[in-house]
Amino acid sequence: MIIHTTFDEVSLTGYKTVRCTGCGRRLKRQRKFWQTRNPYNKNSEGYPKSAYEIREELSQDIRVWEKESETCSKCEQIGVEDE
């Protein structure tokens, strides 16, 4: 996990290696999760979220994403043809 912080954007990058749901090939995936710090991005108490709060939320999102199964592009194409 790499943490990037700029003035108004807080982002975390998630990495995972999962098996393709179709062919079982190992897939490496990377995704950037981010939120902008601004007066409208508020927490449950109605205050603008701090960078720390945003990072907490982003790491939750990454944990969910890490558990999601993935399908490689070849198997996705086969899936589309089947429909």
Residues in a beta bridge with 18: 27
Cβ closer to Zn ion: 48 or 79?
79
**Residue closer to Zn ion (CB basis): 22 or 51:** 22
Interaction residues for Zn ion, span 54-83 (CB under 5 A) = 72, 75
Site string for Zn ion, 18-47 (x = CB under 5 A): --x-xx------------------------
Q: How many residues does the chain have?
A: 83
Show the CA angle centred on residue 13, arms to residues 11 and 14, nearest 5°.
140
